Amino acid sequence: MDQNEALSGAASAQGDQPNNHQTMESLLETESLSVELPQTGEIRKGMIASIGPNQILISIGAKSEGVVAGRELEQLTEEERAELKVGQEVNVYVVNPEDQNGNVVLSFKRAQEQLSWENVEKMIADETVIDTKIIGFNKGGLIVAVGNLRGFVPSSQISATRRTQSTGDTPEQRWQKMTGQPISVKIIEVDRERRRLILSERAASTESRSSMKDRVIGELEEGKTYSGRVTSLADFGAFVNVNGADGLVHLSELSWDHLTHPKEILEVGQDVQVKVINIDREKKRIGLSIRALQDDPWKQRVEKFSVGQLVEGVITRLTKFGAFARLEGDIEGLIHISELSENRVEHPKEVLKEGDVKTLRVIRIDMDQHRIGLSLRKVDSAAFADKDFKMLTQGFNEQDEEAPAEEQEPSKEEEPKEE
């Protein structure tokens, strides 16, 4: 009896194995899908697993622990290494998601630096005044610590009070005694790519900027134009002081031309005309535009076109929703897929290819959105017969007016003589 029960139990156990095995596979698959593998350039939060003389292991939630070693470890000062403890949560930068040994290579310093740049970009947007210390100098001004970054205060941006203390002919004589002194500064330019962080002590004056901004916001009117002065530059735009308060000219509102940074057309201290396009009184933000005061080149180029007009276009791009065509004056219009043919078209490549030159019909012009709608199937549409006839007649009349005078009427020499 006991033997039969044992055999029955063994059979039951064997019968359960496939289900247990399947469940385990399912769990493993689910776990692998939930793991987000580290990517180069990513900043992650991790926990210090162990600290050794040559490497620090950090758990970052991936299948293997990351390591800070070699050059990345050597960049840490003795004080910084002494502050690290097992179990401590830290920010790390992924240098390499998998090196030749299969390790995730991490960096403390790069994480600190990247987070610091993100922080100063937020500070310039919020017009934050930073209380810090002078850590050095050069011939042009003072070096100041901003988190883990070094910022530069040009001599022209040092307060009048501090400049009166700078005497001497050499930088050492003028600035060395100020090293270690506290200083309040405001960020006026951030350029992460060039590692450029420019600060101003003058802009961080202790006068009540908040009350001044409240007054200016109350006086400004949307849609009106004002004179201002550029106070700082950032990747996302330029700050312009108008009547004592800073407003932002976003990168897209600087020019009709494509720009990658405001420094391409502006510099700190430059006088400019700006248009107020938005006022957020609750958040105390002023939106400005320089572009709004310039003629829109797109509108000038598109003036020669009208709805219903036949035009010649070169097919430049094919997409699943239609085709783009370049018209005269480098104007680009869209032929929606529904405007390609009277028959059903699954993809524009069935009808067109890039480089084709086609006669097209202008069916829509959107001045605000800078869009022109074109049609291939309406080129011969009867609905536009009258317009086509008028355009053709107008063309003939213009040709007659441009013809030389001798072609239009006979000269006196050619007049018949009276018998």
Cα–Cα distance for residue pair 74/95, rounded to 1 Å: 15
DSSP code of residue 263? G
Same domain flag for 224 and 181: no
The answer to whether position 151 is within a domain reads yes
Question: By three-state DSSP, how is residue 200 classified?
Answer: strand
pTM of the model: 0.44
The answer to whether position 302 is within a domain reads yes
Tell me the residue type at 337.
Answer: I
Cα 374 vs. chain centroid, distance in angstroms?
30
Same domain flag for 163 and 96: no
Same domain flag for 318 and 383: yes
Cα–Cα distance for residue pair 200/158, rounded to 1 Å: 6
The answer to whether position 277 is within a domain reads yes
Residue whose entry in the numeric block shows the structure tokens 């420019």: 198
The string of pLDDT tens digits covering residues 155-185 is 889 887 787 677 777 888 888 889 999 998 9
The answer to whether position 35 is within a domain reads no
Cα–Cα distance for residue pair 318/32, rounded to 1 Å: 39
Same domain flag for 384 and 318: yes
Same domain flag for 343 and 306: yes
CATH number reported for the structural domain that contains residue 69 in this entry: 2.40.50.140
The string of pLDDT tens digits covering residues 171-226 is 888 888 899 999 989 999 999 888 899 999 988 875 445 667 787 888 899 999 99
β-pair type (245-250, 285-289): parallel
Same domain flag for 173 and 219: no
Same domain flag for 287 and 326: no
Same domain flag for 306 and 260: no
Same domain flag for 281 and 357: no
Same domain flag for 243 and 322: no
The string of pLDDT tens digits covering residues 5-57 is 444 444 444 444 444 444 545 444 444 444 567 888 888 888 898 888 888 99
Q: How many domains does the chain have?
A: 4
Same domain flag for 302 and 288: no
Which range marks the domain in which residue 259 is found? 215-230+237-293
